[in-house]
Amino acid sequence: MPIAVDIDVMLARRKMSVGELAERVGITPANLAVLKNGRAKAVRFTTLAALCEVLECQPGDLLRWEPDSPDEDAQASLVGGAGRP
């Protein structure tokens, strides 16, 4: 996945648990786990802003872009994912 999620890194730096972060942000621990594990298809700006406020960080501290590896590009082309507009 080209977007990497580093919520775990910020949780460790802030010495905060997933449960505490979820409570302070106002989302369920299950939804936070989906975000944290990179399984979310989208994130609301309000949620991102709340995460940044609670963790005292910038969006770039939580999210970063990573280019696909050549293996992922080849696999995407096999399933028809590459070359789409």
Fold of 3-78: 434 Repressor (Amino-terminal Domain) (1.10.260)
**In this model, does residue 22 exceed pLDDT 60?**
yes
Contacts of 40 (CB under 8 A, 6+ apart): 5, 34
> Is 69's pLDDT higher than 60?
yes
Mean pLDDT, the chain, whole residue set: 89
Say if CB 56 and CB 13 are below 8 A apart: no
User: Is the pLDDT confidence value at 12 over 70?
Assistant: yes
What pLDDT score does 76 carry?
57
What are the residue ranges spanned by the domains of the chain?
3-78
The upper half-sphere exposure of residue 51, i.e. CA atoms within 13 Å in the direction of its Cβ, equals 28
The secondary structure of 24-71 as a DSSP string is: HHTS-HHHHHHHHTT--S---HHHHHHHHHHHT--HHHHEEE-PPPHH
79 pLDDT more than 70: no
pLDDT by residue (tens digit) across 53-65? 999 999 999 999 9
